[in-house]
Amino acid sequence: MAVITYLDAISQGLRDEMRRDENVIVLGEDIAVFGGAFKVTRGFLEEFGADRVIDTPISESGFTGAACGAAVEGLRPVVEFQFADFIACAFDQIVNYAAKNYYRWGIPMPVVFRGPSGGGFRGGPYHSQNPEAWFTHVPGLKVVQPATPYDAKGLLVAAIRDNNPVIYLEHKHLYRRIKEEVPEDDYVVPIGVAEVKREGSDLTIVTYGAMVHESLAVAERLSREGAECEVVDLRSLSPLDRDAFLTSVRKTGRALVVHEAHLTGGFGGEVAAIIAEQAFDALDAPVTRVAALDVPSPFAAQLEDAMLPTEEKIYTAARDVLEY
Amino acid sequence: MPQMGESIAEGTIVKWLKQAGEAVARDEPLFEITTDKVDTEVPAPAAGTLAEILVKAGETVDIGTAVATIAEVGESAVSTPGTPAGSSSTEPAPRSAGGPSIPSTLQEGARPAPAAAPTPETGDAPGGHFRTTQPTKTVSFKREATAGTASAASSGGRAFSPAVLATARQAGVSLDTLTGLAGSGRGGRVTKRDVERHLADRGAGAASAAPVAASGTPPPAYLYQPKPGDERVAMSTVRKRIADHMTWSTRISPHATAIAECDMSNAAALVEAAGARFEASVGAPLTYTALVAQAAVKALGEFRTLNASVVGDEVILKPAVNLGVAVALPDSGELIVPVVREADGLSLAGFAKAVKDLAVRARSRRLTPDDVQGGTFTLTNPGIFGGLTGTPILNQPEVGILGLGAVTKRPVVLDDAIAIRSIMMMSLTFDHRAADGMVAFQYLARVREQLEALPTDLDTSKI
User: Does A199 lie in the same domain as A176?
Assistant: no
Question: What integer pLDDT is reported at residue B97 of this predicted model?
Answer: 39
- Is residue A189 domain-resident? no
Which residue pairs, CB below 8 angstroms and at least 24 apart, start in A103-107?
A: A103/A139, A103/A140, A107/A72
User: Does A239 lie in the same domain as A122?
Assistant: no
- Annotation marks residue A262 as catalytic: no
The beta-carbon neighbor of A173 closest among B101, B103, B130 is B130
Angle between helical axes of B348-363 and B288-300 (0-180°, round to 10):
120
Q: Which residues contact B162 (CB under 8 A, 6 or more apart)?
A: A280, A281, A282, A283, A284
φ, ψ for residue B264, nearest 5 deg:
-100, 20
Other CB atoms closer than 10 Å to residue B181's CB: what's the count? Answer: 23
pTM over 0.80: no
Strands, DSSP E only, in A91-187?
112-117, 142-144, 166-171, 179-182
**Of A40-49, B64-73, B114-123, B337-346, which one has max mean pLDDT?**
A40-49
Give the mean pLDDT of chain A.
97
In chain A, % of residues over pLDDT 90: 98
* B255-313: pLDDT as tens digits: 999 999 999 999 999 999 999 999 999 999 999 999 999 999 999 999 999 999 998 88
Report whether B419 contacts B412 (CB < 8 A).
Answer: yes
- Is residue A265 domain-resident? yes
Question: What integer pLDDT is reported at residue B217 of this predicted model?
Answer: 64
* CATH number of the domain encompassing residue A205: 3.40.50.920
Q: Which residues contact B225 (CB under 8 A, 6 or more apart)?
A: none
More confident position, B281 or B89: B281
The amino acid sitting at B302 is E
Determine which one of B27, B39, B436, B457 is catalytic: B436
Question: What integer pLDDT is reported at residue B333 of this predicted model?
Answer: 77
What is d(CA B440, CA B434) in angstroms, rounded to the nearest whole number? 11
- Is residue A70 domain-resident? yes
The beta-carbon neighbor of B7 closest among A172, A282, A285 is A172
Question: What integer pLDDT is reported at residue B125 of this predicted model?
Answer: 44
On chain B, the residues whose CB falls within 8 A of the CB of A282 are: 162-163, 166
- Chain B nearest-CA distance from A279, in A, is 9
Whether A214 and chain B come into contact, CB under 8 Å, resolves to yes
Locate all alpha helices (DSSP H) within chain A, ordered by sequence: 6-20, 44-48, 60-72, 91-92, 101-105, 132-136, 149-161, 211-224, 242-252, 267-278, 301-307, 311-323
Q: Which of A37, A28, A57 is nearest to A127 (CA)?
A: A37
CB contact under 8 A, B130 and A38: no
User: Does A279 lie in the same domain as A207?
Assistant: yes
Given a cut of 90, whether residue A129 has pLDDT beyond it is yes
Report how far apart the first and last C-alpha atoms of chain A are (Å, whole number): 44
Report whether A155 contacts A130 (CB < 8 A).
Answer: no
- Chain A nearest-CA distance from B182, in A, is 14
* CATH number of the domain encompassing residue A61: 3.40.50.970
User: Does A230 lie in the same domain as A316?
Assistant: yes
Question: What integer pLDDT is reported at residue B220 of this predicted model?
Answer: 72
Report whether B252 contacts B311 (CB < 8 A).
Answer: no
User: Does A166 lie in the same domain as A88?
Assistant: yes
Whether A312 and chain B come into contact, CB under 8 Å, resolves to yes
User: Does A173 lie in the same domain as A303?
Assistant: no
pLDDT band at residue A59, thresholds of 50, 70 and 90?
very high
SS3 labels along B133-191: CCCCCCCCCHHHHHHHHHHHHHCCCCCCCHHHHHHHHHHCCCHHHHHHCCCCCHHHCCC
Determine which one of B245, B255, B357, B432 is catalytic: B432
Question: What integer pLDDT is reported at residue A212 of this predicted model?
Answer: 98
Question: What integer pLDDT is reported at residue B234 of this predicted model?
Answer: 85
Number of H helices, E strands in chain B: 12, 18
Question: What integer pLDDT is reported at residue B75 of this predicted model?
Answer: 65
More confident position, B266 or B115: B266
Given a cut of 50, whether residue A209 has pLDDT beyond it is yes
pLDDT band at residue B425, thresholds of 50, 70 and 90?
very high
Residue A281: closest C-alpha in chain B: B162
Question: What integer pLDDT is reported at residue B244 of this predicted model?
Answer: 87
User: Does A225 lie in the same domain as A176?
Assistant: no
Q: Which of B263, B336, B323, B338 is nearest to B293 (CA)?
A: B323
In chain A, % of residues over pLDDT 70: 100
User: Does A172 lie in the same domain as A200?
Assistant: no
pLDDT band at residue B178, thresholds of 50, 70 and 90?
confident
Angle between helical axes of B348-363 and B265-282 (0-180°, round to 10):
80
Rounded to a whole number of angstroms, the CA Rg of chain B reads 43
The pLDDT of A250-270, averaged and rounded, is: 97
What is d(CA B160, CA B175) in angstroms, rounded to the nearest whole number? 10
- Is residue A34 domain-resident? yes
Out of 3.40.50.300, 3.30.559.10, 3.10.450.50, 3.40.50.2300, select the CATH number for domain B254-462. Answer: 3.30.559.10
On chain A, the residues whose CB falls within 8 A of the CB of B3 are: 121
Expressed as residue numbers, the domain containing A133 is: 2-182
- Is residue A141 domain-resident? yes
Q: ipTM of this predicted complex?
A: 0.71
CATH 3.30.559.10 residue ranges of chain B are 254-462
Whether A197 and chain B come into contact, CB under 8 Å, resolves to no
pLDDT band at residue A167, thresholds of 50, 70 and 90?
very high
CATH 2.40.50.100 residue ranges of chain B are 10-130
- Is residue A110 domain-resident? yes
For chain B, what percentages of helix, strand and coil (3-state, to nearest 5) are there?
Answer: 35, 20, 45
On chain B, the residues whose CB falls within 8 A of the CB of A288 are: 141, 144-145
Given a cut of 90, whether residue B174 has pLDDT beyond it is no
Dihedral, B203, B208, B212, B213 alpha carbons, nearest 10: -40
The pLDDT of B116-130, averaged and rounded, is: 42
The beta-carbon neighbor of A288 closest among B101, B145, B149 is B145
The beta-carbon neighbor of B6 closest among A39, A121, A313 is A121
| CATH code for the part of the protein at B10-130 | 2.40.50.100
**What residues form DSSP beta bridges with B260?**
B426
What is d(CA A308, CA A259) in angstroms, rounded to the nearest whole number? 9
- Chain B nearest-CA distance from A218, in A, is 10
Give the mean pLDDT of chain B.
79
- Chain B nearest-CA distance from A282, in A, is 4
Whether A213 and chain B come into contact, CB under 8 Å, resolves to yes
Q: Which of A175, A86, A173 is nearest to A134 (CA)?
A: A86
Q: Which of B4, B6, B96 should one mutate to test binding to chain A, selecting the residue with the greatest count of A CBs within 10 A? A: B6
Question: What integer pLDDT is reported at residue B412 of this predicted model?
Answer: 93
**Domain-ending residue, one of A182, A210, A235:** A182
Whether A147 and chain B come into contact, CB under 8 Å, resolves to no
The pLDDT of B356-362, averaged and rounded, is: 88
**Domain-ending residue, one of A133, A151, A182:** A182
Residue B100: is the preceding peptide bond cis (ω within 30°)? no
Q: How many domains does chain A have?
A: 2
Say which range, A210-214, B82-86, B173-177, B367-371, has the weakest mean pLDDT. B82-86
Residues 222-261 of A with CB under 8 A from B: 253, 260
Question: What integer pLDDT is reported at residue B204 of this predicted model?
Answer: 59
Q: In what order do the strands lie in the sheet with B29-34?
A: B39-43, B29-34, B10-16, B60-62
Q: In what order do the strands lie in the sheet with A255-262?
A: A195-198, A229-233, A203-207, A255-262, A288-292
